[in-house]
Amino acid sequence: MKESKNKTVVITGSSSGFGYLTTLTLARKGYNVWATMRNSETKNSLKKEELLSIAKKENLKISVIDMNVNSDESVSNAIQSIVNVDGRIDYLINNAGYMFVGITEAYSIQQAKDQFETNFFGILRTTKAVAPFMRSQKEGLIINVTSLAGRLTFPYFGIYCASKHAVEAYSQAMRYELAPFGVEVSIVEPGPFGTNLLFTGPKEDDQEVFNAYGEHKDVPHAMLKNFESFYATDEALDPQLVADKITSLVEANKGTRVERVVAGIDYGVLDYNDKVAPIQESLVKDALQMGHLLTIEK
């Protein structure tokens, strides 16, 4: 197992779901975890106190810091504060996000921008803030939590899928471009889990378009209710599985971390990834003659 002492982890979206579970899992492994969240003194104050109470009880190294991934200033200030205290950042886990589920056409342009602001540009902000420190260290790991919806497209998830597809492409490019500096980028693709993510998005703004869909406008809601029923069954998977997959990447040796890890029900994405990987590698290695970007600099 990788030596965790004095290794600093930054996790976004730590107030619930995968981020919350990963914070506790890595802290219990001995890592120094900075759990970031919005509104840590107001809306999420109870989650902050809960994490700090567990940390105190179990003697874990957890710090909670307010960070809004939608704000350049908030991200820059939070990351600089962490570096000022710990001197470095070894792992960045981009987990923050939310989900639009509805009639894709009925979402306004502003709503689509809002979805991308968190799910895509939020990851750009944190990565741009952390990458310079990792490059100077000549090591580091960035894990971007996407979704099966970053590889497949689900009806009525159009805006969300688009944001996750964008993160997949960005992550792949950054994996290549940071490799010469000893910095790794990996992607974790969860399937459906009962983390309430399905119910975090807003209703469609364009009611005229929404109503024009007639009886079809009720399909997204029915789909959500089916997912909710599934999460209540014994067949539903424990979200801890995703935290464990993230932890496995963190604890893997440098240079051995895979590009993509699927967690949970995969709907064929495991096979999809296996088939696409050699095509992608051939593009970089053979067509572009950039094979050196496929190997992490040690």
**Residues labelled as active-site residues:** 160
Q: Write 218-222 long-range contacts (CB < 8 A, 24+).
A: 219/155, 219/156, 220/101, 220/102, 220/103, 220/156
**Helices 121-137 and 109-119 sit at what angle, rounded to 10 degrees?**
20
What H or E segment, with its residue span, contains residue 263? strand 260-263
Task: Decide: 32 and 8 in contact? Cβ < 8 Å.
Answer: yes
Distance of CA 250 to the CA centre of its chain: 14
| Strand pairing category for 91-94 and 140-145 | parallel
Residue type, 277: A
134: phi > 0 → left, psi -120 to 50 → alpha, else beta; which?
alpha
